[in-house]
Structure 1
């Protein structure tokens, strides 16, 4: 395994990497010998991040079958990082060059297979394996525990509470999240996450001002350690992610695993992975209408709690463990041919 994802806190790539390492160690420690950021000989080298030193290592002997994890494409970085020319173009070319160096790519959303094909990477070299989360960290709690968590986290227990999770950046739709908090002063909004990449975050200056002085009913927590994230999901009523571009956010799976109804911006890529098990709005007006409906209709809320449970079941650790083992065995056999 090659990754620097955990060096920067509060990003989904790190969460996905941590979950996968945990799954392999729990289920297959007697089958797979795993090392991290070790350049010794291997049957498989699985690259989770696109670090230059990792790219250079692909030219060294002994790397075995080279696997690349596709957590983003150039177009999905728009609205995330503020890169100036010519560095932006150079970086985007570098990312695709990195992916082309791989013998096989893994995507977390099948909608990215044709997009990679446009960059000259044939579908035969791409495998779809979705994200997942562990029930040990993310699971529903009863009303008593929820009330206790609300006290600990200073969350009002007499209001309908809406949670957003992710880096604070334009792509995540944080400006719309803020506008909707202003539109619904009777509800309470929480955004868990921070500026993981500091000043190069797109929209940093404007967002930083709002974070310092938010609306009275909007709470910015900053970056929260992963082992504490479940407390926030379990202390609220609705998960809401207004992102403009995503692959397969870990936060959706975390929320679903905690039994939270899910509201998302209407993006076609979600249909490929969670179909009709969530509510959506195409713009801020529709998203506001959905919030109004959910906050006033307990029956609708319960319906989407049930659908969240279906998402969690489909993307559970148990369902994905065998898929990962089969994939690694297949890649190892191809390496020995």
Structure 2
């Protein structure tokens, strides 16, 4: 049995992708490799591998303790990717940025969820040879495609019209996620139902909180903010949608996109370099909010294009399947244990 200790507080704040990725990995290991890996959480005893999912100070201090084994860091964000997420006073932001990189440098090896991070980490002094790219994934048991009749029943159940084109976005309500553009599109298209499933996971320190809170409290009639939705209910929202739209300005490997793919929901994203590196060919790209409007108009008027985009989502779900990633994680942990 290989002893692996997970260090994580990722599931302590609801509605964030880091927590979803952590929970998916924990479930994968328990499902596929329970007879080979002995996985513990936030324990400080002897371990062959210590896998750090979050950068809490107590975890940083633990890296100086003996018997930690091979230290693996899971990089979900860098200083530059936090811009537009949290609004911290400049001195505090500078201190946190320094701490974050220091944490990563304490690791023996780094895992990134997007290969574009490898050269960025190298610029911070972490060699590319010490970094491995392993993509995120979601389980088909939790996120799956429903029948048309089931989707119609869900719309009635949640209070949405069954005959209106419906667009969903999910994630934290913040400027970085492009929520202001989502709101703008809702105002431009009063005949379309817009739903944003998510909330202010970090409260008032969320960037753009005041302006966004005003809209959340008083949205246009065709825009719904159901708040932070429990993970087991998110599958309903993806299936109710005709189109998934994530207008983020900055992402790594958003779990929400994989969840939409897994539910067979067509995906429209802002055109970002990092998406091209990981999911090129599986989604429709738009350069800005005006282009998003053009793409929405085209997809509504061209049913065949929407069906083709749905097929692309289904292909993506196969490429980022749990079964494939289970083999990748298995090989990775065994390799790291040998190096320890």
Q: Give deviations 1:38-89, integer Å, cap 9, x for gaps.
A: 1111000000000000000000001000000000011110000001021000
Please name the residue that 1:313 is paired with.
318
Q: Of 84, 88, 111, which residue of structure 1 is paired with 2:89?
A: 84
Normalised to the residue count of structure 1, the TM-score between the two structures is: 0.99
Matched, 1:34 2:32: no
Matched, 1:58 2:63: yes
Shift of 1:294: 1.1
Matched, 1:197 2:202: yes
Normalised to the residue count of structure 2, the TM-score between the two structures is: 0.98
SS in 2 for 1:68: strand
Please name the residue that 2:232 is paired with.
227
Matched, 1:75 2:80: yes
In structure 2, distance between residues paired with 1:149 and 1:137: 16
Q: Give deviations 1:84-116, integer Å, cap 9, x for gaps.
A: 021000001111110011000000111110111
Mapping of residues 206-245 of structure 1, within 5 Å = 206-245=211-250
In structure 1, distance between residues paired with 2:288 and 2:17: 24
Please name the residue that 1:286 is paired with.
291
In structure 1, distance between residues paired with 2:41 and 2:325: 21
Shift of 1:198: 0.3
In structure 1, distance between residues paired with 2:197 and 2:252: 19
Shift of 1:261: 0.6
Shift of 1:152: 1.3
Q: Of 297, 316, 321, which residue of structure 1 is paired with 2:302?
A: 297
In structure 2, distance between residues paired with 1:207 and 1:8: 20
Please name the residue that 1:261 is paired with.
266
TM-align CA RMSD: 0.5
Mapping of residues 60-209 of structure 1, within 5 Å = 60-209=65-214
In structure 2, distance between residues paired with 1:192 and 1:224: 6
In structure 1, distance between residues paired with 2:142 and 2:303: 26
Aligned length: 335
Please name the residue that 1:325 is paired with.
330
Q: Unpaired segments of 5 or more residues in structure 1?
A: none
Shift of 1:151: 1.1
Please name the residue that 2:339 is paired with.
334
SS in 2 for 1:42: coil
Shift of 1:297: 1.4
In structure 2, distance between residues paired with 1:181 and 1:85: 34
Please name the residue that 1:14 is paired with.
19
Q: Unpaired segments of 5 or more residues in structure 2?
A: 1-5
